[in-house]
Amino acid sequence: MRPPTITIDGPSGTGKGTLAIRLVRATGWHLLDSGALYRVVAYAAQQQGVSLDSAADLARIATGLALEFQVAEEAVEVWLNGMEISTDIRSETAGSAASQVAAIAAVRDALLARQREFLRAPGLVADGRDMGTVVFPTAELKIFLTASPFIRAERRYKQLKQKGIDVNLARLSEDIAARDRRDEEREVSPLQPASDAIILDTSALDIDAVEESVIALAQERGLR
């Protein structure tokens, strides 16, 4: 039998990553931070001098990534070829580069099987943009987080500052808006809720309240 899956999709700054880590702690399940895969493809391309619109080269990079993930206290740590690159891939510039490569069908195809390999017993929490629509369409529980643009920019601002990344709030708001627009408007796997997703507006909710609602939903569906 396929292990159970909870998918968490939504635009940036809605709290997906934090929620996913908390659910993993509560359940003991595996975690897929799919955004990190797109961030690493863009990062590796830039390191190798590959243009972010060179589809065939990017797909080759996506297929061959020697990656390792480790769930830390509040974020997923990422190693590429044995080197920790977590901070390098978390800036908004890296997020924007990720969204450029994520719009390329060949890159998404190259990452599909790799993402599905994360589904192992006892279960999976998968965080991204198309987890419930494309990668795990038969997931038992699909959550789609939203929040107002202002709140999302503010959250990302605090998160990046905490990581020691230098940011300007006005610039960050513009960059996030542009990234979300690109994610929503692209032709392949655009950011949108699955028809059977539960949509949670987190604008006025703290992360404890979001976690409680999702755990309650998981229990209702017999997942815990």
- H-type helices in the chain, by residue range? 16-27, 34-47, 55-64, 86-90, 92-102, 105-116, 149-162, 169-185, 207-220
CA dist 187 and 170 (Å) reads: 28
Least CB distance to ligand C5P at residue 58 (A):
13
Query: In this structure, what token pair is assigned to residue 160?
Result: 């990046």
**Cα–Cα distance measured from residue 199 to residue 190, given in angstroms and rounded to the nearest whole number:** 16
CB-closest chain residue to ligand C5P: 35
Give the total of residues touching ligand C5P (CB under 6 A): 16
Counting Cβ atoms within 10 Å, is residue 204 exposed (0-12), middle (13-18) or buried (19+)? exposed
HSE (side-chain half, CA atoms, 13 Å) at 191: 22
Is the distance from CB of 215 to CB of 207 less than 8 angstroms? no
Of these, 5, 7, 14, 99, which contacts ligand C5P (CB under 6 A)? Answer: 99
Measured from the CB atom, the residue of 60 and 190 that comes closer to ligand C5P is: 190
Distance CA 29, CA 119 (A): 9
Give residue 216's identity as a one-letter amino acid code.
Answer: A
Please state the closest distance from residue 59 (CB atom) to ligand C5P, in A: 14
Q: Are 157 and 167 in contact (CB under 8 A)?
A: yes
Residue 213 CA, chain-centre distance (Å), reads 20
Binding-site member from 5, 7, 12, 159 for ligand C5P (CB under 6 A): 12
Q: Of 27 and 189, which CB lies nearer to ligand C5P in the complex structure?
A: 189
Nearer to ligand C5P, 142 or 179 (CB): 179
The CB-of-70 to ligand C5P minimum distance in angstroms stands at 16
Restricting to residues 133-172, name those near ligand C5P by CB under 6 A.
none
DSSP state of 65: -
Nearer to ligand C5P, 29 or 38 (CB): 38
- Cβ of residue 100: shortest distance to ligand C5P, in angstroms? 8
The stretch near ligand C5P (CB under 6 A) out of 62-70, 122-130, 140-148, 166-174 is 122-130
- Among residues 8, 20, 45, 98, which is the contact residue for ligand C5P, using CB under 6 A? 98
The verdict on 95 binding ligand C5P (CB under 6 A) reads yes
Question: Among 92, 175, 183, 211, which residue sits at the site for ligand C5P (rule: CB under 6 A)?
Answer: 183
Q: Which residues bind ligand C5P (CB under 6 A)?
A: 12, 34-36, 38-39, 95, 98-99, 102, 128-131, 179, 183
